Homo-oligomer: A and B are copies of this chain.
Amino acid sequence: MRAILHVCTTCRAEAAAGDDPRPGALLHDALAGAALPDGVELRPVECLSACSQGCSVALSAPGKWTYVYGRLTPENATDILTGAAAYAATADGLVPWRERPVIFRKQSLARIPPQE
């Protein structure tokens, strides 16, 4: 089992135009600096098109539901990785509700069915 954790590095969140580094890049740095769970691969991406709900991340893997979460900060890095590990451990991406970090329960932006 595995999962790709996509992190939008261009998210501005509440930052002013021109702020550098952007909040999305800071979130990516926080995740990259932590110990990645088994089976989770971190990938920076320029824009997840969730700009009004940034910072945002997405979890995807072949044969699994895809999930997108928003309104995240670097302080959420540990919870994001906990949630990513639970996702990676599933066959279909569906983590039981009570086993999801609170940020994943309350800050879902979308989920998309698996591709064949």
Chain A residues with CB under 8 Å of chain B are: 4, 6, 43, 45, 47-50, 53, 56, 58, 60-62, 66-68, 108-113, 115-116
Contacts and interface: CB of A to CB of B under 8 A. Distances in A.
B61 A111 contact: no
Q: How many copies does the complex hold?
A: 2
Main secondary structure of the interface of A (DSSP, over half): strand
A47 B112 contact: no
A62 B111 CA distance: 16
A58 B66 CA distance: 11
A56 B113 contact: no
Contacts of A61: 115
Contacts of A60: 112-113, 115
